[in-house]
Structure 1
């Protein structure tokens, strides 16, 4: 009996250590940044530990082996996904622009199974109580929303101060560590050739030198290179 309790303690201690190592290797993420894919691999890791605790036939080394194999598999998938935009889009999803320039896209709401009251609840959680305040709204792969208000709705509002402010479109990440974010390029209705030509005009013919490049409709490009 004592050996059974000792085995349970060892499984818990070593299992916890193994899970912490795996999650550290796979990278830091807040719960709000978890995609459905991230949730699945975290769920399976927890299930591996749980199964080993209540099944005496599963030895301590079998548990650690299972956690290690699962961690390696997920790490390989993460590496492949980082290099393949199409696979990343399939596994982790893409950002959906639900509101553009104040116009609500009902088709994209239905496609993402987002109800109006759910959207309004998410907005209220960000201190926004009317859709008329929203210029652009993005539904992120994690299920959270990112919002850009109309300039007149930002505190202190230009409307109250009687100031005329030029509208500013949101910036979009188009290059990340030398790689073109193809889904983001599609999101703004542009092509890869357009991006390459525009960057060349800006003095960046080699995208491999670019750490990141942002673009907005009103402000244009903002580029940082490894140099």
Structure 2
């Protein structure tokens, strides 16, 4: 009976974790955020603790996973606030901008130069002379534009909130973003799912209603599609 109980706990734990991942909306685990990492540790501890404790049943696993799933969804709801989103997920930052290394960002992220050089080598770059811009993403990876590729885009609005870090990177203001939003026929950022700006090419906008638009930097608008956003 003891082995049957362990097998039952293991099966229920596996199904429960799959349900948690499905409810939490994780389509892939490659892009881990700090919240995802904490969730992985907690779920592992919950299932492992119940699995080898004979005094705890399958119902303890289900209860623990239900509570953690509800709390996780609450945290994700709170992340609709741009401030909390930055505190929990962080922002992508420039390690190198226009060929100049940002030492403060290195120090804040406890990143050593040899670690950075290893990341560059993994991207096929072996000299700092070939580096113009390098971004440090929230999942710990680096993004490096190809040599001679100067195209850079900025996410101005994310899920209804203006992205302050993007304004700093592109040297623009909230008033300018609002002007763009109004030019596309919307009243406030909360009506948008996202707004991306690529200098020299224009804007790409997706509204929460499902409308998808793009246009040049003179605010010429072309509606290119519509879909339901869940």
Say whether the fold is shared (TM-score over 0.5): yes
Contact kept? 1:109, 1:115, Cα under 8 Å: yes
- Paired residues, number: 208
- Measure, in 2, the Cα distance between the counterparts of 1:28 and 1:127: 29
* Structure 1 contact 134–150 (Cα < 8 Å) conserved: yes
Kindly indicate whether the alpha-carbon contact (under 8 Å) linking 1:85 and 1:183 is maintained by their aligned counterparts in 2: no
Matches within 5 A, 1:182-221: 182-200=164-182, 202-206=183-187, 207-221=189-203
* Structure 1, unaligned runs of 5 or more: 155-167
User: How many angstroms apart in 2 are the aligned matches of 1:26 and 1:183?
Assistant: 26
- Structure 1 match to 2:222: none
> 68-77 or 128-137: which moved more?
128-137
Cα–Cα, structure 1 residues 173 and 110, in superposed 2: closer, same or farther, change >3 Å?
A: same
The Cα of 1:215 is off from its aligned counterpart by 1.5
Aligned residues of 1:89 and 1:183 also touching (Cα < 8 A) = no
The answer to whether the 8 A contact 1:170-1:216 is kept is yes
Is the partner of 2:144 in helix, strand or coil?
A: strand
8 A contact 1:18–1:64 mirrored in 2: yes
Cα distance in 2 for partners of 1:102, 1:150 equals: 12
TM-score, L = length of structure 1 = 0.83
Query: In the aligned structure 2, how far is the partner of 1:89 from the partner of 1:208?
Result: 17
SS of equivalent residue, structure 1 residue 33: coil
Conserved in 2, the CA contact under 8 Å of 1:133 and 1:149? no
Deviations 1:61-88 (A, max 9, x none): 012101110111011111211x111001
Contact preservation (8 Å) 1:135, 1:149: no
Partner of 1:59: 57
2:31 to 30, 33, 45: 33
Per-residue Cα deviation, 1:34-79 (whole angstroms, up to 9, x for no partner): 0122101111011111001111111210121011101110111112
Q: Which has the higher contact order (CA 8 A, sep 6+)?
A: 1
* Gaps in structure 2 of 5+ consecutive residues: 212-230
- Secondary structure of 1:149 counterpart: coil
Find the counterpart in structure 2 of residue 160 from structure 1: none
Match of 2:103 in 1: 106
Deviations 1:93-112 (A, max 9, x none): 11111111222111211111
Matches of 2:160 and 2:82, distance apart in 1:
13
- C-alpha distance in 1, partners of 2:82/2:45? 30
